[in-house]
Structures are given as structure tokens and as C-alpha cells.
Amino acid sequence: MENIYAELTRMLEAGETVAVATIVDVRGSVPREVGAKMIIHPLGRHVGTVGGGCGEADVLRTALDVLQTGEPATVHVDLTEDISMQALGVCGGVMDVFVERVASDVQAEIGMLPGMLAALRESMLNREPVALATVVQGSAVSPSAGATGQQAVIWLDREPLGSLGLGAMEVQAIEDARAVLRGRQHKLLKYEEASIFVEVQRRAPELIIVGGGHIALPLAQLASMCDFSVTVLDDRPSFVTEERFPTARQRISGPLRETTAGLPMDQDTFVVLVTRGHSHDVECLLEVLDRPVGYIGMIGSQRRVDAVFQLLVDEMGIDPRKLDRVYAPIGIAIGARTPAEIAVCIMAEVINVLRNGPATSISERRRERDRRRREAR
């Protein structure tokens, strides 16, 4: 999302007018998730995707119309055709894509008002919960509402920026949007008078790679391709250069424990320990075990993992149950051997955790073994 907003900001600052397409509702199997966005330029080029294929082509055509008229529209993309050589959409589901015009023109009467985009980006940067509520047109929207395309930026503890134009039901709609924001998942709210898409704005998940060695190189590249914000730490300055990690947002050189401790972390932070020795693993684990991060992974053989954990329990007094949250040995079992393959198996596990996926981690066998040992005592 941050990349899309950064590009949208650049276009608006250049005085361009564009269309923004957002998936607001899905039913069944579709190629992209609710909240996926695409920016469409009047000349036809676009940034992002809402799924590709003929469905996206319909969205692109509608976007060009919206750019001409200024009137927002919803595209109903049906991908439920029977499988055949002639079928154009066979994913099995349907999705609704809301298309709006966004311009730098401050005279626009509906849509994103001046300052909204900046407010969203600032809140995301500051890790402040924020949502964008948009009145979308659909079967549940009353034509008399007269507010299709109206938007408001919603926070939990301050007044909204903008208005949904819903009159008497505005207060209830804002409170419902705040409830969606607390739940951290996009949602289409349907009322008799209007349907409102509440888009929870989350900054890009952050991958902190502790150790800038041979595994970190392909891992940082893969993470950037998957829209993670990447930070690489190493105590050797020559290992965290821009030349080695051109896609990283931050490259930090310094003592690993201190630099790890100094980084802000939350549930959207994923920490991968790929250091060059036991002592670094121990020091960095001590710094992150009690932090509210979404993921902690540590590379190493089962023997190395056991040695590190034993030291933490016996000499550092760490409750062994805390170690259950550490994914070690790291990754999903795919038979990886090369640095690039190992990076793939690590990134697969990170995404699996982020998306609550069904894959089984290599470390699950170790966790189950440790649980049985504790129960047997």
C-alpha cells in the first residue's frame, strides 16, 4: 500500500489526474484480495494490479471513462465461467472494483480531499491506526444518498478528516468504521442508504534481517519484491552497503544487540536472525523475545538451535515456553540448499505467518518435541 500511495503522491505533485481502482468486495476464489489497488493514468499505463486478465481489462476501460466524466463507478467482475478454451474468467469467484478519479485539483467536490493522502501516509509512518472510508456505489446504495465517492480519513481517537455526506447516519457510520479499524481488516459496511468500504491502512510489513551475510542478500531482494520494508543489520560496515542491499530501506552498522534493541517493532515487524554465530543469536533473541513482533525466525541446524535454546534456559533463566514463538530451524521444508533457495523457504514461512497460511514450518517438529518434554517432567 505504501508503494501505491507513494506513486500516487508523486503523480499528484506532478499535476496529473489519475484513476484509482480498489477491490472492495469478493466472493469465492479471485486473483487478488480485498483492498488491492491499481492506479490508471489517462494514457493507459498503470501501477499495481487488481488481478490481470479480462477482468482487469474491464476495470481499465471503466477507469478511462471515469477519468473523462469524474463520476466514480463500480465494476462487477465475474470469474465464474465454466472451464473451456473460450472461457475468459475461471477463478470461480466474483469481485467488485470501485473506480474513482483522483486529481490535484483542489476544486474536486467528491473523493480524496487535499491533505487526505498526506494524512494517511503520515499516520502509517507513525504506526498510528488509520482507515479510509469511501461511500461506494452498488446494489445496496440508495441513489438518493447522493454521496457516492465521498471519503473520510478515520482515526480511533480524533475527529475524521473529510465527510461521507450521509447526513443523520454519518455518526453511526463513523463509529462502525472505527470498529472495523480496531479489527484491522478491510470491510464493506452495508446499510439501507449506502455501502461504505472501510480500508484499514497498514504500512508495509517490515522485515528486519539481523546479519548481512550470504543468506541476507537474496532474502532482502525477495522481501522487497513481496512489498516488505527491509532493514538489514550487521556489525561489519562493509556488509551493509547500498551496493549489497540496494532495495533495503535501512542499512544499519553497529553492535547487533544494541542496534536490534534500538529499532521500533510491533505486530507488523518480522525478525529474521541469520547471524554468523551462537553469541549473536543469543544476544539478539534476548532483545526480541518480549517484543510484540509478528514473527521471530532463526537460522541454524537443529543442533545449533538446541544449543542456543539450552544456553538461554540454563544460563539466562529464560522460560522455555517463550521459545515456542521462535521459528527455528527457520523456514518451510522445500529441500532448500543454496542461499537463494534458503531465502525462498524463509520468505515462504514469513508470508505463511503474515497470511495465516496452512503450510507447516520446519520448526513445528521441534516445538512439539519440546512441549512433550515439558509435559513429561
- Could you tell me the three cell numbers for 185? 481488516
- 326 and 360, same domain (yes or no): yes
Closest CA to 370 of 334, 318, 333: 318
pLDDT bin (cut points 50, 70, 90) of residue 207 is very high
pLDDT bin (cut points 50, 70, 90) of residue 110 is low
How much is the pLDDT for 166?
A: 85
How much is the pLDDT for 223?
A: 97
How much is the pLDDT for 137?
A: 64
- 9 and 129, same domain (yes or no): no
- 221 and 348, same domain (yes or no): yes
For 172, other C-beta atoms within 10 Å of its C-beta total: 12
| CATH code of the domain covering residue 322 | 3.40.50.720
Look at the block and give the residue holding cell 478515520. 154
Residue 186 has pLDDT above 50, yes or no: yes
Beta strands in the chain (DSSP E): 18-27, 37-40, 46-48, 73-78, 94-102, 130-136, 151-155, 161-162, 187-190, 195-201, 206-210, 229-234, 250-253, 269-273, 295-298, 326-327
User: What proportion of the chain, given as a percentage, has pLDDT over 70?
Assistant: 92
Separation of alpha carbons 320 and 34, rounded Å: 39
- 81 and 152, same domain (yes or no): no
- 213 and 294, same domain (yes or no): yes
pTM above threshold 0.85: no
Residue 227 has pLDDT above 80, yes or no: yes
Final residue before a domain boundary, out of 72, 102, 132: 102
How much is the pLDDT for 79?
A: 84
pLDDT digits (tens, 9 = 90+) for 4-29: 888 888 888 888 999 999 999 999 98
How much is the pLDDT for 141?
A: 42
How much is the pLDDT for 3?
A: 76
Residue 162 has pLDDT above 50, yes or no: yes
Strands in 46-48's sheet, in edge-to-edge order, are 46-48, 37-40, 18-27, 94-102, 73-78
- 188 and 216, same domain (yes or no): no
Separation of alpha carbons 137 and 355, rounded Å: 29
How much is the pLDDT for 82?
A: 54
- DSSP SS3 for 251: strand
Number of domains the chain contains: 3
pLDDT bin (cut points 50, 70, 90) of residue 114 is low
- 76 and 144, same domain (yes or no): no
- 98 and 141, same domain (yes or no): no
pLDDT bin (cut points 50, 70, 90) of residue 91 is low
How big is the CA angle at 39 (ends 47 and 248), to the nearest 5 degrees?
Answer: 45
Average pLDDT value for the chain: 89
- 64 and 119, same domain (yes or no): no
Residue 88 has pLDDT above 60, yes or no: no
Residue 107 has pLDDT above 70, yes or no: no
Comparing 93 with 105, the larger pLDDT belongs to 93
- 91 and 188, same domain (yes or no): no
Final residue before a domain boundary, out of 102, 131, 162: 102
For 131, other C-beta atoms within 10 Å of its C-beta total: 27
How much is the pLDDT for 374?
A: 81
- 113 and 86, same domain (yes or no): no
How much is the pLDDT for 87?
A: 47
Q: Quote the domain boundaries for residue 65.
A: 1-102
- 185 and 141, same domain (yes or no): yes
Residue 204 has pLDDT above 50, yes or no: yes
Closest CA to 101 of 92, 115, 112: 112
pLDDT bin (cut points 50, 70, 90) of residue 140 is very low
Final residue before a domain boundary, out of 102, 120, 147: 102
Closest CA to 50 of 67, 72, 85, 25: 25
User: What proportion of the chain, given as a percentage, has pLDDT over 90?
Assistant: 66
Separation of alpha carbons 55 and 348, rounded Å: 28
Q: What is the bridge-based pairing of β-strands 206-210 and 73-78?
A: unpaired
Contact 197, 134 (CB under 8 A): yes
Contact 121, 5 (CB under 8 A): yes
- Could you tell me the three cell numbers for 32? 487478488
pLDDT digits (tens, 9 = 90+) for 307-321: 999 999 999 999 999
How much is the pLDDT for 134?
A: 94
